[in-house]
Structure 1
Amino acid sequence: MRVTAWSNGRNGYGVRVGARSRDEHFDPAWDHIFVEIDGAEFRFSITPSFWRKCPEFRGRVLRDLFYRQGLAPWPKDAPPVFDLIPLGGGRFRLELDAS
């Protein structure tokens, strides 16, 4: 699924999944997911707001990744695009979109 980087405009960073992808690939019973990034696996909480109007998961590791790869800060309304690949059982792989 195609996802984008997210920022709250301050120090919070994450990955915006979007409502459609959230509904297709995430289980409301999950309170966390595991995401493989550059060969390492990280745990991210799924907050109640994820199911309302904030379909993104957040974490310092994402902020660090975006800066390390030179992706942040990004121009207004032009966040980096990624592929979030479902691996099953609440596990995903995050890959930078190569297109």
Structure 2
Amino acid sequence: MRASAWRGGSTNNSTYGIRVGRPNRDEFFSSNWDKIEVEIDGAFHSFALTGGFWRKCPEFRDRGEPILREWLRRNHTLDWQKGTPPTVELVPLGGNRFRLTA
């Protein structure tokens, strides 16, 4: 599925994530899940799916360790114009597991 980078907060103190969008959320995610496992550069990382994910914020975000932030820095950019975030590919692997690719 095509998804996009997400950034919240100020440029110097931002939280980064991956916005899957409502159609992808509804097709590829189960409301029974409270977390997903995402393979990034060969290693799996766990990301919580908050209540907001199911309402109006269909993105998963870095919490604590800046895994997505660093991946975006290496593969795309951390700075983009409003409305034009980098696009990424999030490949469903079965169940609550996905692979993130540039």
Give the TM-score normalised by the residue count of structure 1: 0.91
Deviation at 1:90, TM superposition (A): 0.2
Output the aligned Cα RMSD.
Answer: 1.1
After superposition, the C-alpha distances for 1:22-60 in whole angstroms (9 at most, x for unaligned) are: 000000000000000111111000001100000000012
Amino acid aligned to 1:90 = N
Partners of 2:6 and 2:85 within 8 A in 1: yes
Seq. identity, %: 52
1:24 aligns with 2:30: no
Question: What residue in structure 2 maps to residue 15 of structure 1?
Answer: 18
Q: What is the aligned counterpart of 1:69 among 58, 70, 75?
A: 75
Question: In structure 2, what residue type is equivalent to 1:58?
Answer: R
Residue 70 of structure 1: how far off its partner (Å): 4.6
Deviation at 1:66, TM superposition (A): 1.4
Runs of 4+ in 1 over 4 A off after TM superposition: none
CA distance in 2, matches of 1:84, 1:68: 17
For 1:43, the aligned partner's letter is S
For residues 66 and 32 of structure 1, do their structure 2 counterparts lie closer, same or farther at Cα, with a shift above 3 Å needed? same
Q: How does 1:34-45 map to 2 (within 5 A)?
A: 34-45=37-48
Aligned length: 96
AA paired with 2:21?
Answer: G
Q: What corresponds to 2:60 in structure 1?
A: 57
Residues 42 and 77 (structure 1), Cα distance of their counterparts in 2 relative to 1, 3 Å cut: same
Structure 1 residues 2-29: Cα deviation after superposition (integer angstroms, max 9, x where no partner): 0000001421110000000000000000
Equivalent position of 1:5 in the other structure: 5
Q: Distance in 1 between matches of 2:7 and 2:57?
A: 12
Alignment partner of 1:92 is 2:98: yes
